[in-house]
A and B are shown apart, each in its own frame.
Chain A
Amino acid sequence: MSNTQLKYKDDEQAAGGTPAVARTITVAVAGNPNSGKSTLINAIAGTRLHVGNWAGVTVEKKEALFEFGGRKIRLVDLPGTYSLSPYSQEEIVARDYLVHERPDLIVNVVDATNLERNLYLTVQIMELGIPVVMALNIYDEAQEKGYRIDVKGIEEMLGVAVVPTSATKKTGLDELLKRVLDVADAGAGRAPRKLSYGEDVETAADYVAEALERNYPSLLERYPKRWLLLKIMEQDGQVLEKVNLPDQGFLEEALHHLKRAHGEDIESIMADVRYSLASGLTREILEKPELRQTELTEKIDRIVLNRFLGIPIFMAAMWLLFKLTFDLSAPFGEWIGAMTDGPFKRWASAILTPLGAPDWTVSLVNDGVIAGVGSVLVFVPVIFAMMFFITFLEGSGYMARAAFVMDRTMHSIGLHGKSFIPMLLGFGCNVPGIYATRTLENPKDKVLTALLVPLMSCGARLPVYVLFVGIFFPNNSSTVIWSLYIMGILLAVLMGLVFKRTLFRGEAPMFIMELPPYRMPSFSSLCVHTWEKGKHFLFKAGTYIFAVSVLVWFLLNLPWGVEHKRDSYLGQAGAAVAPIFEPVGFGTWEAASSLITGVIAKEIVVGTMGEIYAPKHGEEKKEIPTLQEDLKEVVTSFGEASVKAVKTLLYLPQPEEKEEDRGGLKLAIQGAFTPLTSYAFMVFVLLYMPCVVAIAAMRQEFGTWKWAGVGLLYQTALAWGAALIVYQGGRLLGLGG
């Protein structure tokens, strides 16, 4: 850019106009976990948030692009961390971004009620020399506690802009963004103050700086200078590997005095220096009231974490979670089922037939795509409802307590309390359970937990139980279903013990976690997070299911013109596999075929059985509703579903449901199974390989097929073994077979 142009631009700015080139300002948001960072970002960006993963890792990455004051701002949310050391995936992600991508500015979210620990991170962030705007968050609560914080004092001592905010009450957000623009425009002039780390450290740093300038000047251009000096002094493994210094002799000399005066461990020395700065600053700017009030959080915790009450309260909370989830969502699930079964199929035919599409295309669309994808869509309401309540438990702070309460139980299978949360989610659907393992820090815990999650009986297995129990155990149906859930849990404990002694030997992991204060999450943030969690299922599972549904349809209808389902490819495959199931009591091609299709999603077992066992019915000449009637039905039945959901919730009496006409299927199953073989079959369905969506989720989480493969093999073996014991054991006891 020539001088004249620069002059022109300055003039324009001086005259109050916008700069000629309004480029996008990149703002990285960093802060401690539980500092209210997510809430703050949601409050600022709302629906403009885009959630993805950081390249190569499963740490969630949130970004938002929006305009404020006529300027484009790109927010990048860094993982919540307590420090920028290289000891966890989150920290590495955060610091790599700050060092290599060099955002224009960092918004450091600081919990005003926990200044010292939060400022420890601030001190480390300031080493990067990037302009910082501090959001002094949860400021309202700090004031309620009687804290007096000298905001101007922080600004002067650190040389950063400080804005008190409350993300939950949405105060201070505009001011925060205004200061972001101010600081971004001031550019390098607003770099934070360089804090003195004491004479000994600074002398050593100067020595290293000289050596680097002499021998490796290019390094100083590539990295933030002060940060690089300090990291080299700390001998940070990750940094040393990257900068690759051939001669480190100068380092010994530089650190000689420091080590003699303070000890060998430079990293600890530096951590102490940083922490003293944070704690000194806190003493200067924070005035706490003499008497500390016992907080509501502590009062609640005394009951919720009580040794005797903790587990019963937790159980009650879970019962409520399931009850609300299923009661609220079931009518909507049924509505979607009815829609895909009726109007959608009719519309598809109505569109395709006049276009001259051959019958097989119509059948592919209806029986393949709509039936297959529809069977998954039925579960969307349940999944979103569950995600909503789970988000509530997380946001309110109870989830961390559940982990605390269950820690003792989980220790027996070599895991700690945090692993309990994914397992719990598994009861709804294994897929979010597997995704939830990303909250665990230790990779070993992650894998072991994900391997055990599929043993939790998910909602998709329920239709299978309901069908068989209704036929063979009508009088003790709930006890039989309950026994299957319990069997899943007991086998998870057993397999946990087995894995602990084989694949995952070693000590139970060290447990340290923060229990956030109880807070009432806002409805809008609940919705945003529910959508973030649920859409994974909707999109990723949707594409998988779509593809496999088409495949299954072809397998059931090929070779071309196949008359009997038994002779289709699927039927042949079933017949080939059937002998394997002979010893466990259901060695028929029908059972085998439905189990094969059940790997797509376990509820498909029921659907396939319906297709296979049901006699080929002739062309039904039913009255076909018109488009208007269909549309009307779509709307009114949705209304009915809503009313039903509310009624169930309020325990109002409901009109009796009409029993679905499945007489043919029931008779056929009665002929093919006995009570004993049906129980063995249900056990097999409970345990055998996780559905493809769960397997895909494991592949995605761990970046390798290895653990998905291990899960597939051990579960299928376990399922076969358990079914064998049930069937042969039952026969020995004379229960018939």
Chain B
Amino acid sequence: MIPLGLLSAGENGEIVEIMLGKGEGVPGGAGMDKTSVRVEEMGLRIGKNVEMLTNGGNTILLRVDEARIALARRMAMKIMVRR
């Protein structure tokens, strides 16, 4: 099990845990965004297979099904995957 942010480009992994706390919100949207909810709505859920497309810098790029999701590295380090 390693953080999603450590996968290198081209590698696949299955999400096993999302450690973004519910309370740990970004003051977003109407002032009550919840990071984990947002991440899951974009399709990053436990059991999902993801592919790392680009890894370098503050932002990583993933493929989830047919969608490409750009994600802050800080968030990617709190999502655990199994290679």
Please determine whether A512 and B70 come into contact, CB atoms closer than 8 angstroms. Answer: yes
Q: Are A117 and B65 in contact (CB under 8 A)?
A: yes
**1/0 per position for B52-68, CB-CB distance to A under 8 A?**
01101111010111111
Which residue of B22, B29, B61, B75 is within 8 Å of A305 (Cβ)?
Answer: B61
Q: Which chain B residue shows the least CB distance to A400?
A: B70
Whether B68 lies near A514 (C-beta < 8 A) is yes
- Give A515 to B64 CA distance when docked, in angstroms: 11
> Once the chains bind, are A444 and B30 in contact (CB under 8 Å)?
no
What residues of chain A lie closer than 8 Å to B45, measured between beta carbons?
275
Given contacts A305-B54, A407-B59, A515-B69, whether A87 and B30 have CB atoms under 8 Å apart is yes
Contact of B28 among A86, A87, A117, A271 (CB under 8 A): A87
Say yes or no: A513 contacts B70, CB within 8 Å. Answer: yes
Q: Which of A110-126 touch B at CB < 8 Å? A: 113-114, 116-117, 120
- Closest A residue by C-beta to B71: A512
Contact across chains for A117 and B43 when beta carbons are under 8 A apart: yes
Pair A443/B68 contact, Cβ less than 8 Å: no
Contact of A441 among B29, B34, B39, B63 (CB under 8 A): B29
Which B-chain residue is minimally distant from A85 (CB atoms)?
A: B37
- List residues of chain B with CB within 8 A of the CB of A407: 57-59, 70
A92: CB under 8 A from chain B?
Answer: yes
Binds B, one of A503-511, A582-590, A637-645: A503-511
Tell me how far the C-beta of A480 lies from the nearest C-beta in chain B, rounded to whole angstroms. Answer: 35
Contact in complex: B32, A512 (CB < 8 Å): no
Q: Is the CB of A514 within 8 A of B35?
A: no
B41 contacts which of A82, A442, A516, A517 (Cβ < 8 Å)?
A82
Q: Distance (Å) between the CB of B54 and the closest chain A CB?
A: 5
Contact, CB under 8 Å: B28 / A509: yes
**Hey, which chain B residues are within 8 Å of A662, CB to CB?**
none
Query: A417 contacts which of B34, B38, B59 (Cβ < 8 Å)?
Result: B59
CB nearest to B46 among chain A residues: A272
Contact flags (1/0) for A107-148 with B, using CB distance below 8 Å?
Answer: 000000110110010000000000000000000000001000
The listed residue (B32, B58, B65) touching A411 by CB distance below 8 A is B58
Q: Does B19 contact A (CB under 8 A)?
A: no
Is A63 close to B, CB under 8 A?
Answer: no
A514–B75 touching, CB < 8 Å: no
Closest to B55 in A: A307
Interface size for A (C-beta < 8 A) is 50
Enumerate chain B residues within 8 angstroms of A265, measured Cβ to Cβ.
22
Does any Cβ of B come within 8 Å of A366's Cβ? no
Contacts of A513 in B (CB 8 A): 69-70
Contact A275 B40 (CB under 8 A): yes
Q: How far is the CB of B51 from chain A (nearest CB, A)?
A: 10
Flag if A116 contacts B43 (CB, 8 Å).
yes
Residue of A with least CB distance to B33 = A87
- With an 8 A cutoff between CB atoms, is A404 at the interface? yes
B29 contacts A89, C-beta separation under 8 Å: yes
A116 x B30 contact (CB < 8 A): no
What CA separation (Å) do A86 and B61 show in the bound complex?
A: 27
Tell me if B69 and A85 are in contact (CB < 8 A): no
A113, B66: Cβ atoms closer than 8 Å: yes
Q: Which residues of B contact A34 (CB under 8 A)?
A: 67
Interface residues on B, range: 35 or more
A34 CA to B65 CA in the complex, in Å?
14
Residues of B within 8 A of A515 (CB): 61, 68-70
Shortest Cβ gap from A127 to chain B (Å): 16
| Cβ-defined contact, A116 with B31, below 8 A | no
In the complex, how many angstroms separate the beta carbon of B12 from the nearest chain A beta carbon? 11
Q: Which of A117, A237, A307, A512 contacts B38 (CB 8 A)?
A: A512
Known: A301-B61, A411-B58, A506-B27. A87 touches B67 (CB 8 A): no
Alpha-carbon separation in the docked complex, A506 to B65 (Å): 34
A417–B32 Cα distance when bound, in Å, is 21
A297 within 8 A of B: yes
Check if B1 is an interface residue, CB within 8 A of chain A: no
Contacts of A91 in B (CB 8 A): 29
Which of B41, B53, B57 has a CB less than 8 Å from the CB of A85? Answer: B41
**A residues 648-690 in Cβ contact with B at 8 Å:** none
Q: A87-B29, A298-B53, A407-B57 are in contact. Are A510 and B72 (CB under 8 A)?
A: yes
Q: Give which listed residue, A271, A441, A512, contacts B72 with CB less than 8 A.
A: A512
Q: Residues of B contacting A509 with CB < 8 Å?
A: 26, 28
A114 to B33, CA, bound (A): 24
Type the 1/0 row for A83-107, where 1 means its CB is closer than 8 Å to any CB of B. 1011111111000000000000000
| B69 partner residues in chain A, CB cutoff 8 A | 512-515
Q: Report A-chain residues with C-beta under 8 Å of the C-beta of B31.
A: 443
Residue among B35, B42, B56 facing the most chain A CB atoms (10 A cut-off): B42
Which residue of chain A lies nearest to B74 when distances are taken between CB atoms in the complex?
A510
Q: Is the CB of B29 within 8 A of A511?
A: no
Interface hits, A238-289 → B, CB 8 Å: 265, 267-268, 271, 275
Indicate if the CB atoms of B61 and A83 lie closer than 8 Å.
Answer: no
Tell me the bound Cα distance from A113 to B68 in angstroms: 12
CA distance A305 to B52 in the complex (A): 13
**What chain A residues lie within 8 Å of B61 (beta carbons)?**
301, 305, 404, 515
**Complex interface: chain B residues within 8 A of A267 (CB):** 37
CA distance A416 to B65 in the complex (A): 25
Separation in Å of the B22 CB from the closest CB of chain A? 7
Asked if B68 contacts A117 (CB within 8 A), the reply is: no
Residues of B contacting A408 with CB < 8 Å? 57-59
Task: Kindly identify, within residues 3 to 54 of chain A, every residue whose CB is under 8 Å from any CB belonging to chain B.
Answer: 34
Taking a contact as CB atoms under 8 Å apart, the answer to whether A297 and B37 are in contact is no
Q: How far is the CA of A117 from the CA of B43 in the complex (A)?
A: 6
Given known contacts A88-B28, A307-B56, A511 and B67 CB-to-CB distance under 8 angstroms: no
CB of B56 within 8 A of CB of A117, answer no
Which residues on the A side are within 8 Å of B63 (C-beta)? 298
For B58, B66, B71, the residue with the greatest tally of chain A CB atoms inside 10 Å of its CB is: B66
Pick 20 A–B contacts, CB within 8 A, sort by A.
A83-B37, A83-B41, A87-B29, A89-B29, A92-B30, A114-B65, A114-B66, A117-B65, A275-B40, A307-B56, A407-B57, A408-B58, A441-B28, A443-B31, A509-B28, A510-B35, A511-B58, A511-B71, A511-B72, A512-B75
Shortest 7 CB-CB contacts between residues of A and residues of B: A88-B29, A511-B72, A82-B41, A515-B68, A117-B43, A113-B66, A442-B28
- Please name 14 further chain A to chain B contacts, defined as beta carbons within 8 Å, in addition to the given A113-B66, A114-B66, A515-B70, sorted by A numbering: A87-B30, A87-B32, A89-B30, A117-B64, A120-B41, A265-B22, A305-B54, A305-B61, A442-B33, A443-B31, A510-B26, A511-B71, A512-B75, A514-B67
Residues of A within 8 A of B (CB): 34, 82-83, 85-92, 113-114, 116-117, 120, 145, 237, 265, 267-268, 271, 275, 297-298, 301, 305, 307, 400, 404, 407-408, 411, 416-417, 441-444, 506-507, 509-517
- Chain B residues within 8 Å of A, Cβ to Cβ: 22, 26-35, 37-43, 45, 53-54, 56-59, 61, 63-72, 74-75
